[in-house]
Amino acid sequence: MARTVAVIGDRWTLMILRDCFLRVRRFEDFQARLGITRPLLASRLKKLVDASVLAKVPYQERPLRHEYRLTPRGLDLYPVVMAIVHWGDAHLAGRKGRPLIHTHDLCGKDFDPVMVCSQCAEPVLARQVHVRPGPGAAQPARLPAGTPARERTGVRARRAAS
Amino acid sequence: MARTVAVIGDRWTLMILRDCFLRVRRFEDFQARLGITRPLLASRLKKLVDASVLAKVPYQERPLRHEYRLTPRGLDLYPVVMAIVHWGDAHLAGRKGRPLIHTHDLCGKDFDPVMVCSQCAEPVLARQVHVRPGPGAAQPARLPAGTPARERTGVRARRAAS
């Protein structure tokens, strides 16, 4: 988690990624849509290129111009962006309703994203999930979800790996 | 989107939310796990309470002590947090593998979250989705996904509503 939010955990970065999924690719277009300063936009785009989330691709030779395209790693962020958009639609949309409607080409219908379990395909609720340390855990101690908070402080060393 | 990332688009806020879903509830526990300064943690928790994502609930009378619990609005952020965690597992986990394994109580199996369409239940890929302005769009102009970038700059006024 710490590594991931170091890549995407910034409001401008999330706004840029949202626009990438709306097929925005060029510096000037990001800037015009987001109202972000050029140095700030340049630094955020560079960070996303450095993290292999975006690729900088030439689209014109003279003068040389680049555009920013989602890599496969970047395309995998779609559930993150859609989950954020959907939460905003459900909880923060104004009186008039959601600003964008999404249509699924596969079935042709307007849809909302739903998070389901990869094993049983049922929707996943927070209260129906338990966790245990995986092979990449910083220490083998069990993280006992549901036990008193005092007993859980032993897991603090794991934060470096989560 | 802008409203949502104003609430959650900050790396500490995302880390705090992750811990909330791991049943961490007390100030001291967040602090010990995240290694965040007390003023920074206090400001992030206050922001989440102000946004009705967390509720501050007394758990002890003398002296009065509070804990932070996810509200229904906060629980709805689970797909956001799980999508972020899953992306990190897939793309940023170290050689040893993921730090946490999630078990779905409903089916009893270790699982990954999958984003599917609410209408046809098939997994949703970015390339199979198109958008159009909804009732809450700032202006009725169509957002033409796939048209040349130059024609898209007219949608910039929509950023205030997205």
- Contact assessment for residue B99 and residue A158, using Cβ atoms and an 8 Å cutoff: yes
* Residue numbers in B near A96 (CB within 8 A): 135-136
* Residue numbers in B near A151 (CB within 8 A): none
Give the residue with greater pLDDT, A149 vs B74. B74
Give the residue with greater pLDDT, A154 vs A51. A51
Q: Does residue B79 have a cis bond before it (omega within 30 degrees)? A: no
Could you read off the pLDDT of A87-117 as tens digits, one per residue? Answer: 999 998 888 889 999 999 999 999 999 999 9
* Residue numbers in A near B21 (CB within 8 A): 126
Q: Do A124 and B113 touch (CB under 8 A)?
A: yes
Q: Which pLDDT band holds residue A139 (cuts at 50, 70, 90)?
A: low
Q: What are phi and psi of A87, to 5 degrees?
A: -60, -40
- Contact assessment for residue B2 and residue B162, using Cβ atoms and an 8 Å cutoff: yes
pLDDT recorded at residue B6:
79
Residues of chain A with CATH 1.10.10.10: 2-75
Give the residue with greater pLDDT, A18 vs A152. A18
* Residue numbers in B near A91 (CB within 8 A): 73, 76
Give the residue with greater pLDDT, A23 vs B1. A23
pLDDT recorded at residue A141:
44
**Topology of A2-75 in CATH?**
Arc Repressor Mutant, subunit A (1.10.10)
Q: What is the mean pLDDT of residues A36-57?
A: 95
Distance from CA of A51 to the nearest CA of B (A): 10
Query: What proportion of chain A, given as a percentage, has pLDDT over 90?
Result: 72
Query: What proportion of chain B, given as a percentage, has pLDDT over 70?
Result: 85
Tokens of B70: 């996810």
- Report the distance separating Cα B5 and Cα A57, nearest Å: 28
- Report the distance separating Cα A58 and Cα B151, nearest Å: 20
Q: Do A75 and B126 touch (CB under 8 A)?
A: yes
Q: Which pLDDT band holds residue B5 (cuts at 50, 70, 90)?
A: confident
Does pLDDT of B140 surpass 80? no
Could you read off the pLDDT of B7-32 as tens digits, one per residue? Answer: 887 889 999 999 999 999 999 999 99
Q: Do B120 and A104 touch (CB under 8 A)?
A: yes
Query: Which of A41-55, A121-135, A145-159, B45-59 has the lowest average pLDDT?
Result: A145-159
CB-CB neighbours of B122 under 10 Å:
13
Gap between the terminal Cα atoms of chain B: 5
* Residue numbers in B near A35 (CB within 8 A): 156, 159
Q: Which of B3, B10, B13, B84 best probes binding to A when mutated, by most A CB atoms within 10 angstroms?
A: B84
Distance from CA of B101 to the nearest CA of A (A): 5
pLDDT recorded at residue B139:
61
